[in-house]
Amino acid sequence: MDNGTTGVAPAVDVVIAVHSSTRPVARAVASIASAGLELNAPDGVRITVVCHNISMEEIAGNVPPELASATRFLELRDGIPSPAGPFNYALAQATAEFVCILGSDDYLEHGALRDWLHLARTHSSAMVIAPQRHAAGALVRTPPVRVGRRFKLDPVKDRLSYRTAPLGLLRRSEIQRLGLEFSADLRTGEDQIFSAKLWFGGGRIDYARGAGKYVVGADAEDRVTGQRRDIGELFAFATELVADPWFLALSLAHRRALVTKLLRVHVFGVILPRTEQGGWTDADREELSRVARELLAAAPGAERPLSLADARLLRGILALSPTAEILAAATARRRFGRPETLIASNLAVQLQPEAPLRFMAASALL
């Protein structure tokens, strides 16, 4: 049901995918209504909620009538537990100049859309990256752009790959130009290729520093990404990304930036949480070693900016070191401020954007 919203010509289409009636979708919808643009008005905002493998009536019934009547509800039943399908479906239905993706557990600060739209139109942005915070107030320090930087961001110098989800305001024509799609065949990491092609696609990207924020909700207790998966399935997004012809055509500097991020955030980031999800088997360690080798082969030299502590962990992964040694190395790399976390493993790259000192300073000052 579209509740009479399809005839408008909005400036922004905001899309929400929801798969459970327990999600606080009413809060998300209400935040859009107070984000500074008029609902269903020319040059305003239109809200689209895709009810994913669940009935529209069940979801719409959780939204106050005055907001439900102003919201377009669509239904998609694909049987796939991934938000890729509903997001692709909603984006295909969008007609506005800009689109904004919002998680059903998340919400926008007052006036955020107005702020982002003003920035996008003032500077002809292809993408306006939204500042983020957690519901409790802590800032989400990604992407760690250069200190004070707001405009004409560079994918390498401003470390854009650390913002995986394309949150903010995205010009719809940019989606079409780059052929952007979420990966519906993946159980996790479905937004990785979408965002990578966006950040490295050559369009103008600006950061809405000081504007209204995108707020990450703390409600979800059954997020798909929190479930234990086989290492091969967990990292399918990464191995598919580095094997993609698009990736192979990138410059070495761009490939290195993406792979350094994949190692630092995803490969290293899985070590400690997995100990609480059943632990590490020999097969797990062998598979993770294979993944790391594939990533390094796709971007030789991507390991150079890693800290001494990170490099030690990487060596352990590649050498199939005992689990206890790998866990100790993973713990040590989290002791920020110590020399081994501040010094790059290759002294020749100490001043590169991915080197620890510059990376940490940019994150701290975001």
pLDDT in tens, 211-224: 999 999 986 444 54
Amino acid, res. 211:
A
Phi, psi of 118 (to 5 degrees): -60, -45
DSSP designation for 265: I
Instruction: Sketch the domain layout of the chain as residue ranges.
Output: 12-216, 228-364
Separation CA 335–CA 32 (nearest Å): 39
Q: Left, alpha or beta for 301 (phi > 0: left; psi -120 to 50: alpha)?
A: left
203-212, 224-233, 262-271: least confidently modelled range: 224-233
Mean pLDDT for 54-71 is 96
Using alpha carbons only, give the angle 215, 58, 37 rounded to the nearest 5 degrees: 40
The hierarchical CATH code for the domain 12-216 is 3.90.550.10
Separation CA 293–CA 299 (nearest Å): 10
Q: Are strands 107-108 and 132-134 parallel, antiparallel or unpaired?
A: unpaired
What pLDDT sits at residue 5? 56
Total Cβ atoms within 10 A of residue 363: 16
pTM of the prediction?
0.93
Residues pairing with 19 in the sheet = none
Total residues belonging to the chain: 366
Contact status, residue 188 vs residue 234, Cβ threshold 8 Å:
yes
Phi, psi of 72 (to 5 degrees): -90, 120
CA 200 to chain centre: 14
Separation CA 242–CA 331 (nearest Å): 28
pLDDT in tens, 259-318: 999 999 999 999 999 988 888 999 999 999 999 999 999 999 999 999 999 999 999 999
What pLDDT sits at residue 229? 81
Mean pLDDT for 112-125 is 98
What pLDDT sits at residue 227? 64
The verdict on whether omega for the bond into residue 64 sits within 30 degrees of 0, i.e. cis, is: no
Confidence band of 14 (pLDDT split at 50, 70, 90)? very high
How distant, in Å, are the alpha carbons of 53, 150, 209, 333, 364 from that of 206? 35, 6, 9, 31, 19
Report percent pLDDT > 90 for the chain: 89
Separation CA 289–CA 232 (nearest Å): 11
Token pair of 108 as six digits: 């926008």
Contact status, residue 116 vs residue 110, Cβ threshold 8 Å:
no
How distant, in Å, are the alpha carbons of 1, 6, 16, 90 from that of 51? 11, 17, 9, 10
Sheet holding 168-171, edge to edge: 71-76, 45-52, 12-18, 98-103, 168-171, 127-129, 205-207
| In 12-76, beta strands by DSSP E | 12-18, 45-52, 71-76
Radius of gyration (C-alpha) of the chain in whole angstroms? 21
**6 pLDDT exceeds 70?**
no
Using alpha carbons only, give the angle 156, 159, 165 rounded to the nearest 5 degrees: 120
pLDDT in tens, 144-172: 999 989 999 999 999 999 999 999 999 99
Total Cβ atoms within 10 A of residue 148: 9
